[in-house]
Amino acid sequence: MTCLKVKSKEIPKNSMVEFYFPAERPWERKPVLLINFDEEIYALEAFCTHNGLSLEDGFLTEDGRIVCPWHGSVFDVKTGKVLDGPAKRDLKKYNVKIEGEEVIVSE
């Protein structure tokens, strides 16, 4: 199982930050989007399922939606589910565990 460890202060409140799972070769690293929303940390697939572009610069709405900056697909921050297209596939959701100041994300 691959794990990513991040300090919680690296994910400011109401923000989305892209990180990578560690891998032996740099090109094998898998991106993951960590989202600090409503006092919780969520971890989702980092690239939009429409055209595979990064969601990091997208918008996080007050009611927990991630809006892709490229063509406007909308995803639920808590589940990764598609709420509006053009994306058709949900974002993969990763497990998150908090240990003190550390956020541990696993596949």
For ligand FES, the binding residues (CB under 6 A) are 48, 50-51, 53, 68, 70-73, 86-87
**Of 94, 97, 60, 57, nearest to 76 (Cα)?**
60
**Identity of the residue, 6 or 33, whose beta carbon is nearer to ligand FES in the bound complex:** 33
CB of 72 to ligand FES, least distance (A): 6
CB of 33 to ligand FES, least distance (A): 12
Burial annotation 11-32 (CB, 10 A radius, 16+ → b, else e): beeeebeebebeeeeeeeebeb
Task: Please say whether the dihedral angle defined by the alpha carbons of residues 45, 53, 19 and 22, taken in this order, is positive or negative.
Answer: positive
**Identity of the residue, 41 or 53, whose beta carbon is nearer to ligand FES in the bound complex:** 53
In the block, tokens 């709420």 appear at 83
**Identity of the residue, 36 or 73, whose beta carbon is nearer to ligand FES in the bound complex:** 73
- How far is the C-alpha of 67 from the C-alpha of 61, rounded, in Å? 8
**Identity of the residue, 44 or 103, whose beta carbon is nearer to ligand FES in the bound complex:** 44
CB of 87 to ligand FES, least distance (A): 5
